[in-house]
Amino acid sequence: MNRTPALIALVIAAAVLLAAGPMVLPPFYVRVGQLMLYSAGLGLAWGILGGFAGYASFGHAAFIGVGAFIAGLVENQFSTLPTALLLPVGLLAAAAACAILSALIAYPILRLRGTFFAIAMLGVSHVCAEVTNNIDFFQGSMGLNFPPIAPAGMDPANFFYELYLAGALLILLTAWQIKRSRFGAGLLSIREDEDTARMLGVPTERYKRTAFVISAVLTGLMGVIYAHSLGYITTDSVYRDDTNLSLIVYSLLGGMGTLFGPVIGAFLLVFITQVILGRLLDFHLFATGLLLVLLILAAPGGVSGLLKRRKTA
């Protein structure tokens, strides 16, 4: 039975409901919604490499930072352009920078697997942060201002909420197209047994590099939106190790390798940390860690796996 039309209809309905959120939600929950959508977009982008291909990266914040700083520098150089063109220019510059960086490091770093690849990516993130922080051209230590892009008469918080939603939907559509394609099947075979996949004729190296570049570019695009929503960034505000960890947690909570797992995990974790535990600052990290451990023990396959088991029971 083909469930694709029903799934598409469900996603469209959910997108319409989410788009209407700023009209009915208090300002605090609009901010929480921004973080949910931003996190979901990042989780989906990370999942193209970490979930579909099984190459779990501990350093995707590198592409958030590269995308954000390159976009900011380019937009400031073209500050005389109409406001409506600034964001597209920044997004194009960020996409090109992330594509070039990921393509350059893909060959050597994707020869590593498992923990070695994960730690190497963490090193890439730290190297990018140090370069941004110590080379004056990037202005990482002093900070970089972003020109305002919200339309006149529209609340900036609502504008960036809708922008995050558009970015997350774009990445969801990309991930869905990959998952249902021959390319996606190849990534799955790499995740299950890369050596056997290679022997069976799957172009594993090309598929891994392609997934890496796509994941990096999409992550960088979300980084540009995030930087604009902040208005001012430094190295520490975009190259964050807690973001690197959170991207993995989203997939673990929602279901590693699934399409909607990162979305479920991101929404769940942000709701827990920002709404339920938001006022327990002294207890925050301990309670969050304990809750994550309990959730993962109760549902090793994530929420998606738990729902699937209950449905088949």
- Tell me the mean pLDDT in the region 226-232: 96
Q: Cα(135)–Cα(222) distance, rounded to whole angstroms?
A: 24
pLDDT digit string (tens) for 159-207? 999 999 999 999 999 999 999 999 999 999 999 999 999 999 999 999 9
Return the pLDDT at 24. Answer: 92
| Cα distances (angstroms) measured from residue 121 to each of 50, 58, 63, 86 | 12, 6, 11, 31
- Tell me the mean pLDDT in the region 243-255: 88
Above 80 in pLDDT, residue 299? no
pLDDT digit string (tens) for 76-105? 998 888 888 999 999 999 999 999 999 999
Q: Tell whether the torsion through CA atoms of 255, 259, 262 and 263 is positive or negative.
A: negative
Q: Identify the CA nearest to 52 among candidates 212, 229, 195.
A: 212
DSSP 8-class letter at 257 = T
300 neighbors 255 (Cβ within 8 angstroms) = no
74 neighbors 90 (Cβ within 8 angstroms) = yes
For the record, the structure tokens of 54 come out as 């099984």
b/e map 114-149, b = 16+ CB within 10 Å: eeebbebbbebbbebbebbbeeeebbbeeebebbeb
Give the pLDDT band (50/70/90) at residue 245. confident
Return the pLDDT at 249. Answer: 87
- Tell me the mean pLDDT in the region 19-35: 94
Return the pLDDT at 277. Answer: 73
Return the pLDDT at 290. Answer: 73
Average per-residue pLDDT for the chain: 90
Query: pTM higher than 0.95, yes or no?
Result: no
For the record, the structure tokens of 134 come out as 């110590």
Above 60 in pLDDT, residue 313? no
37 neighbors 172 (Cβ within 8 angstroms) = no
Question: Percent of the chain, pLDDT > 70?
Answer: 89
Above 90 in pLDDT, residue 42? yes
Return the pLDDT at 302. Answer: 65
For the record, the structure tokens of 279 come out as 């006022």
User: What is Dmax (Cα atoms) for the chain?
Assistant: 61
Return the pLDDT at 297. Answer: 74
Query: Which residues are paired to 233 by β-bridges?
Result: 144
215 neighbors 60 (Cβ within 8 angstroms) = yes
Query: Which residues are paired to 144 by β-bridges?
Result: 233
DSSP 8-class letter at 151 = P
Above 70 in pLDDT, residue 283? no
